[in-house]
Amino acid sequence: MKIQTTKYGLCTVKKHKYQTNGNLGLSLVDEDGCPITYISTNILPLAENEFCANIFNIGSTLWNDIATSGLFEKTGEKVPSGFCEYPVCKLLVEID
């Protein structure tokens, strides 16, 4: 899936699995393949196609670009980690 971003142009969402528990991992790379950010963060095991959104490590403009792309929807659940609570999201599109 491609996402048009305000600062980085047209970017591609890359899918992977975290080695520690097999959770869904998502990252964003620019047109040259350079990494921009991790969309997900790995905290605890989740259902397939669910991930914790890495909202505390992505700037608000980039996060808005990602959140409004149709990539996912929030489930309403949150996962605590340290002093933060990360929203659990469900992937809505198929990513290779």
Q: Is the pLDDT of residue 96 over 90?
A: no
pLDDT for the residue numbered 16: 97
- The domain limits of the chain are 2-91
| Assessment of whether the complete model's pTM goes beyond 0.95 | no
Which residues, 6+ apart, have CB-to-CB distance to 37 below 8 Å? 27, 28, 54, 57, 58, 62
Mind listing the pLDDT tens digit for each residue in 8-51? 999 999 999 999 999 999 999 999 999 999 999 999 999 999 99
